[in-house]
Amino acid sequence: MATTSPDRVLSLDQIRGLAVMGIFSVNVVGMAMIFEAYFYPPDYGFDSLADRIMWAANFVLVDGKFRSLFSMLFGASLVLVCERAIASGTSAWRVHYPRMVVLLGFGLTHYYLLWWGDILTSYALVGMLAFAAWRWTGAQLLLAAGLVLAWQFAGTLEYGLATAAHWEELRAPGATAMQRAEWAGIEASLSLSPDDYAQAKAMHASIPAHVVASTADGLWRQPFEWIVLGYGRETLGLVLLGMGLYKLSFFTGGWSRGAYAISAAVLLGGGLAWFGHAAFRVLTADFDRAVFLRWAQSAAEPIAPAMAVGYAALLILLLRQGDGPGGGALAGRLAAVGRAAFTNYLGATLIGFVLFFDTGLGLFGRVSRGEAWLFVPPVWALMLLWSKWWLDRFRYGPFEWVWRSLSRGRWEPMRQLA
């Protein structure tokens, strides 16, 4: 397997590069407008056809898929780091746990200072738990991942489908006065007030204002509560899945071309059909809350990881068609984005800070969903341009270097050797 350097696996870097670019396509919405609009588009900035087109494109192609892929790659990297620690004569836990502690610090800083959508805290805490399974076989890891994800998605489906059915019952033509009153109360609780918008805007006045808002009224617990009550099981399942696929040589290009082609056709093709149908149902219902909950949230969530694996299979297959190892110049730039994925992920939030905080351009709450997405192609281009330029001169991305140095308790050499 070709590598970008003695300690890099090229295909992992390329897939990671694609994943971190895809994540920004969705995250920009959460950075640009009120929290609730990220989860239910009509809550803000959703008046034009362009807004609906961009929602549909992101929903079908991106949302949930690249976050799933990024999580899987975190699992694959966990195993890779442990294997290389053992090969160097160091205990795996002595390398792994300092990395997770430092990552936790990055994640909490990211959350409290800049953005509610941090995923690094989840990775750090889940990574501490997933370490116990790193020696398992690929088959054992896939079985464990399947069980954890089934546990997560069963709960999501049960709650979402039951809630959607209940809402429809309350709004049915034959609903009783008590049912209509209950639905009116639910609608009122779901509707946003001017105060909600004002508070969201104030949170983006400055970094100090964001810190105050993200720690007030017990909100300091939010990163941990989301992990335990929200995305923790899903993240653990995806990390275990990535560990298993790495051990089975999927991410490192060890499967046959036919196997990757079948995986891409079945998982990606089937997923696109499913999400396309779900988007059609939501759009034709004009984002009715019950329809949206059923199709865009509950029923869609379990399909996203399968599509993520399909994307990885397709990328590996396509890069095999390129000129030489790695698939040519564009693939080399994509691999560089992946090598500096930590910096690109945090750097995208810093760009969001410049764009949307009042101490920057102050665009928070002033752009629609479609307009917010216009920032995505330039940021993608920036990732592709700077990452390769930087890594031609330095061993690591800036934040990768800090993470590595703090984890090892010494400042690592930064410049490439001549």
Q: What is the pLDDT of residue 7?
A: 58
Q: What is the pLDDT of residue 45?
A: 86
Q: Does 104 have pLDDT greater than 70?
A: yes
pLDDT digits (tens, 9 = 90+) for 344-361: 999 999 999 999 999 999
Residue 268 maps to a domain: yes
Q: Max CA-CA distance within the chain?
A: 79
Q: What is the pLDDT of residue 229?
A: 75
Residue 416 maps to a domain: no
Whether the CA torsion 317, 323, 324, 330 is positive or negative: it is negative
Residue 193 maps to a domain: yes
Mean pLDDT of 273-293: 97
Q: What is the pLDDT of residue 218?
A: 83
Mean pLDDT of 358-384: 96
State both tokens at 411.
């400042």
Mean pLDDT of the chain: 93
Q: Does 4 have pLDDT greater than 70?
A: no
Q: What is the pLDDT of residue 327?
A: 55
Residue 415 maps to a domain: no
Mean pLDDT of 260-283: 97
Mean pLDDT of 275-285: 97
State both tokens at 101.
């502690």
State both tokens at 414.
């930064």
Residue 121 maps to a domain: yes
> Phi then psi for 174, rounded to 5 degrees?
-95, 15
Q: What is the pLDDT of residue 288?
A: 96
Q: Does 5 have pLDDT greater than 90?
A: no
Whether the CA torsion 324, 327, 330, 334 is positive or negative: it is negative
Residue 1 maps to a domain: no
Distances (CA, A) of 33 to 115, 402, 411: 12, 31, 39
Residue 128 maps to a domain: yes
CB-CB contact of 76 with 246 (8 Å): yes
Q: Does 152 have pLDDT greater than 70?
A: yes
Residue bearing the bigger pLDDT, 158 or 3: 158
Mean pLDDT of 142-157: 95
In degrees, rounded to 5, the angle at the alpha carbon of residue 130 between the alpha carbons of residues 129 and 133 is 120
In degrees, rounded to 5, the angle at the alpha carbon of residue 46 between the alpha carbons of residues 40 and 51 is 105
Q: Does 323 have pLDDT greater than 50?
A: no
Domains in the chain: how many in total?
1
Q: Does 8 have pLDDT greater than 90?
A: no
Q: What is the pLDDT of residue 325?
A: 44
Task: Pick the range with the lowest mean pLDDT from 74-88, 121-135, 184-198, 319-333.
Answer: 319-333
Structural domain for 19, as ranges? 11-408
Q: How many CB atoms lie within 10 A of CB 163?
A: 17
Task: Pick the range with the lowest mean pLDDT from 195-199, 380-384, 405-409.
Answer: 195-199
DSSP label of 413: P
Q: What is the pLDDT of residue 319?
A: 86
Determine the Cα–Cα distance for residues 375 and 362; give it in Å rounded to an integer: 14
* pTM: predicted TM-score of the whole model, two decimal places: 0.94
Residue 396 maps to a domain: yes
Mean pLDDT of 98-118: 96
Beta-bridge partners for 394: 415
